[in-house]
A and B are shown apart, each in its own frame.
Chain A
Amino acid sequence: MGTWTRACATDDVELEDLLRFDHGGRSFLVIRSPEDEFFCIDGICTHERVHLADGLVMDGIIECPKHNAHFDYKTGEATRAPACINLKSWPVKVENGDVFVEI
């Protein structure tokens, strides 16, 4: 079991957008869906180590800003080449306006 770590305030992330969050030498993305749910996935693309923080969040997908690989941001699943390895996704909870990730 990991520890619940505060990533950001809910207001720090706009609807259908992301926030980069670095912790313990790792980089993560907190993503807020249009339905106002929060998700957390690894921040670095599994294809060529490009950081995904500049990627487009839309229609349930985060897209790599370099090679257009797609990942389902709710599960981390790689859904379009060139990526074929899934991103790790992390449990998230929201408490009193803060987003916590279990790392």
Chain B
Amino acid sequence: MTHHVIIGAGEAGLRAAAALRDAGERHVTLVGGEHMPSYDRPALSKPDGETGLFHRPIAVDLAGLEVVLGRTAKGIDRETKAVILTTGERLAYDRLLLATGARPRRLACDPAGHALMLRTLGDAEAIYGKADAGGSAILVGAGLIGLELAAELTRRGMTVRVLEAGPRALGRGVPAEIADVIVSRHRRSGVTFDFDVRIERVEHKSVVLADGARIEADLVVAAVGIEPEVGLAVSAGLACANGIEVNSRLVTSDPSIFAAGDCAVIDHPRYGRTRFETWRNACDQGAHAAKAMLGEAASFETLPWFWSDHFDLGLQAVGLHDPSRRSARRDLADGGWLRFELDENHVLQAAAGIGPGTSVARDIRLAEKLIERGAFCAPEALADPGLGLKSLLKVAA
């Protein structure tokens, strides 16, 4: 009788728990620090266009699981194999999964925490509660979440100004040409951008820049990235560096303890040590961790994939972007387009697409399959919209 304990009831923890249960495991305990049933985090920055609803519970069948919500694990006793909760309760485990996720990075220049941040349902309620039509908002950080929020606050009638420390939006993960399309779309709806900005400090309803200028706003939100939640792992003496270190099978430095999702830095067969911060990765690593906990020895090889929505535009990307690679562009009928990245041998490595709604989804999924197969792709073929990617896949098969 094996006891499985999972810490963290986000996407990764839930998927792992459900997969263990579906594999016939009878003793699966899921501990979640948040008080309410698990909800969809991406929806927090993408409220429903018609209803404004951003609280979407995750539809996972919890039957057959022991679910402990609203309680936090404060320690792991690796000698006796037990998790200690803040209530003093001890949960014995044979296999333990850490799916503790991440927390938003706080601005160093805002020790008092004047700027709001977005990670939890409560954060979203606080932000949208202050989003008055006609008011003004400053968003610090032009990353995916910051820009999604800029679009949503604009939609709610606010005047939004984005302050970014770097020279452009969407940093390293998104090709510059695609970031430009997204920024133009935001500008068209009135969002303004300042790049290479140094913020001196954040005060109540204002931001003071390094040059002394003060910008007032009704709402200040910081979206400057996340930090993996590693406290529990560090205090238990597990190897951690920018996340809980796991091998390609999601096993930590303790063979009975596994990690998955935003908190895990994995030795990925394709990319080496990498931590992914995306929704599908959390789902896939969660399901994979369940298999690993059951002793199945496969490596986690899934490619990173994500989507992000900005007004009527949808971005999707697969693989890891590297600006130094050769690229090819394919234009789609509805104004959308795709950007492919090839290595020196013409093997497809990454693809990103931007277009109305979900119009790039199908081709990005086909690109994912091409990358998985290590397919050779002539740049001319990738650029030719008359040549379906499915036909390239059939050639590669």
**Chain A interface (Cβ < 8 Å from any Cβ of B):** 16, 47-48, 50-51, 54-56, 58, 63, 65-68, 81-82, 84
Contact = CB atoms under 8 A, between A and B. Distances in A.
Nearest to A85: B59
Contact of A66 (B18, B283, B361): B361
Contact of B366 (A47, A48, A56, A81): A56
26 contacts: A16-B390, A47-B59, A48-B56, A50-B358, A51-B357, A51-B358, A54-B357, A54-B358, A54-B359, A54-B361, A54-B362, A55-B361, A55-B362, A56-B361, A56-B365, A56-B366, A65-B358, A65-B362, A66-B358, A66-B361, A68-B280, A68-B365, A81-B15, A81-B18, A82-B59, A84-B59
Contacts of B365: 56, 63, 68
A47 B18 CA distance: 17
Nearest to A48: B56
Contacts, number: 41
B60 A81 contact: yes
Given A16-B390, A81-B283, A82-B283, A56 B59 contact: no
The size class of the interface chain B forms with chain A is 20 to 34
Given A54-B358, A84-B61, 18 more contacts: A47-B59, A51-B357, A51-B358, A54-B357, A54-B362, A55-B358, A55-B361, A56-B361, A56-B365, A63-B365, A65-B362, A67-B279, A68-B365, A81-B18, A81-B60, A81-B283, A82-B58, A82-B283
A68 B303 CA distance: 13
Contact of B307 (A63, A66, A84): A66
A20 B390 CA distance: 20
Nearest to A18: B362
Name the 8 nearest CB pairs between A and B, nearest first. Answer: A65-B361, A65-B358, A54-B358, A56-B365, A56-B362, A54-B361, A54-B359, A54-B362
A55 B361 CA distance: 7
A56 B280 CA distance: 17
Nearest to A14: B388
Interface in B355-375: 357-359, 361-362, 365-366
Residue with the greatest number of chain A CB neighbours at <10 A, chosen from B305, B307, B359, B361: B361
A19 to B, nearest CB: 14
Contacts of B358: 50-51, 54-55, 65-66
B3 to A, nearest CB: 24
A58 B283 CA distance: 22
Interface in B44-65: 56, 58-61
B304 to A, nearest CB: 13
